[in-house]
Structures are given as C-alpha cells and as structure tokens.
C-alpha cells in the first residue's frame, strides 16, 4: 500500500491557498494508487516549539543520560521521523510569508533534522541524508511573482534541506500572483492545476 504524507504549513486553519493545492495534489496522487493511505500533518495544529536550549539539549544528550523531559522531546521527534520515513510520497503545502517558508515548517525541519538519525557524515566529511527513496511534491502559494527571481528564497532552501535529508526527487508546483486580483488568482490556479494534472 502506498502511503502519502501531506504536510500543511499554512498559518491559516481554513482556506489557505497552499493547503488547497496540497489537497488537490494528494487527491490526484491517491486517485492513481488504489488503496493509498493518506496521512495529514497540520503544523499549525501541532504547535511544535522552536529550537531552544531544552530541545537542543535533548537532541545532544546521550540516551542513558536523558531526563524524563528530554525523553519526551526525543519521543516526539522520533514520531515525526518515523512518520516521514514510512511515507512513499510527501506533499508539502507551503505559503510564502515575508520571503520565506512559514516558521512552523522551519520548526518541523528542525525537529526531524538529527545527526545519525536522519543524516550522517561520511568518512570524507560529506553529508548523507538518511530519508531516502521518497517522491516529494511542494505546492507553493504566493501573493506576488517570485519564481526564477533572486527574491525566491523558498525554492533553494527547500531543495537544500530536503536534499540534505536524502529527498532529492522533488517537484515544485507554483501558484503565484494570488494578491493581484481575481483574474490573476484564476490564472494562477489554472496553471497550478495543469501541473497537478500532469503528475
């Protein structure tokens, strides 16, 4: 059975354009995979804490020396890692906030990026991602037009962090100009849906 993990990163629980596109991408993928299992992770609802001394301390404390609080932090991280490791396909719904990904998504990556768990360094010092064999789709929703411009900080960042973790087969789906009026919105969604239909 194919498992699809949908990760919604929007700060809105309802009506987010990026979530709409992620939903439609997942529906398209599931339609082509009989019996596909879909898991939805809502980062807004999760409320993952940003990195602080407590979280970092847990990550770098040996297992036999962890406090109960640190064990709880590691258990939460391990659950997120197990979830993404178990997925065959990952779909990210990502809006653009102030020229970057939402802080919820950055926190998620911080919680799953752990040395010797999701990445390691080879003897020659080069990194090796340990979340391998995944197909990733990223649905990006933006108010302006940023694709292929110096102001697009999202695409390079997402390629870098996903690749660092071992996920290099990544397809980006763009809906841009969503703040430019109804006609621009219609065009943006038409183009995005054309890309989704081609999956």
Asked whether 100 and 157 are in contact (CB, 8 A), the reply is: yes
- pLDDT by residue, tens only, the chain of 199 residues: 899 999 999 999 889 999 999 999 999 999 988 889 999 999 999 999 999 999 999 999 999 999 999 999 999 999 999 999 999 999 999 999 999 999 999 999 999 999 999 999 999 999 999 999 999 999 999 999 999 999 999 999 999 999 999 999 999 999 999 999 999 999 999 999 999 999 9
Cα 160–Cα 143–Cα 14 angle in degrees, nearest 5: 90
Give the per-residue pLDDT at 199: 93
Token pair for 86: 């178990």
Q: Are 162 and 156 in contact (CB under 8 A)?
A: no
Sheet strands side by side (includes 169-175): 37-42, 3-8, 89-95, 135-141, 169-175
Of 199, 178, 198, 181, the C-alpha closest to 19 is 178
Those residues whose C-beta lies under 8 Å from the C-beta of residue 37, and which sit 6 or more positions away, are 1, 2, 3, 4
pTM for the model: 0.95
Instruction: With H, G, I as helix, E, B as strand and everything else as coil, classify residue 8.
Output: strand
What's the pLDDT at 155?
98
């Amino acid at each position: 059975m194919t498992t699809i993990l949908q990760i919604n990163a929007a700060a809105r629980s309802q009506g987010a354009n990026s979530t709409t596109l992620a939903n439609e991408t997942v529906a398209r993928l599931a339609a082509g995979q009989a019996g596909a299992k879909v898991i939805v992770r809502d980062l807004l609802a999760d409320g993952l804490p940003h990195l602080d001394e407590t979280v970092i301390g847990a990550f770098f404390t040996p297992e036999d020396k962890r406090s109960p609080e640190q064990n709880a932090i590691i258990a939460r991280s391990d659950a997120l890692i197990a979830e993404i490791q178990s997925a065959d396909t990952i779909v990210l719904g990502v809006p653009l906030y102030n020229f970057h990904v939402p802080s919820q998504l950055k926190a998620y990556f911080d919680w799953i990026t752990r040395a010797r768990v999701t990445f390691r360094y080879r003897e020659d010092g080069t990194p090796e991602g340990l979340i391998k064999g995944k197909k990733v789709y990223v649905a990006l929703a933006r108010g302006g037009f940023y694709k292929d411009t110096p102001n697009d900080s999202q695409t390079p960042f997402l390629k870098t962090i996903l690749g660092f973790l071992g996920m290099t087969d990544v397809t980006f789906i763009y809906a841009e100009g969503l703040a430019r009026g109804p006609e621009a919105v219609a065009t943006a969604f038409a183009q995005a849906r054309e890309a989704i239909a081609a999956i």
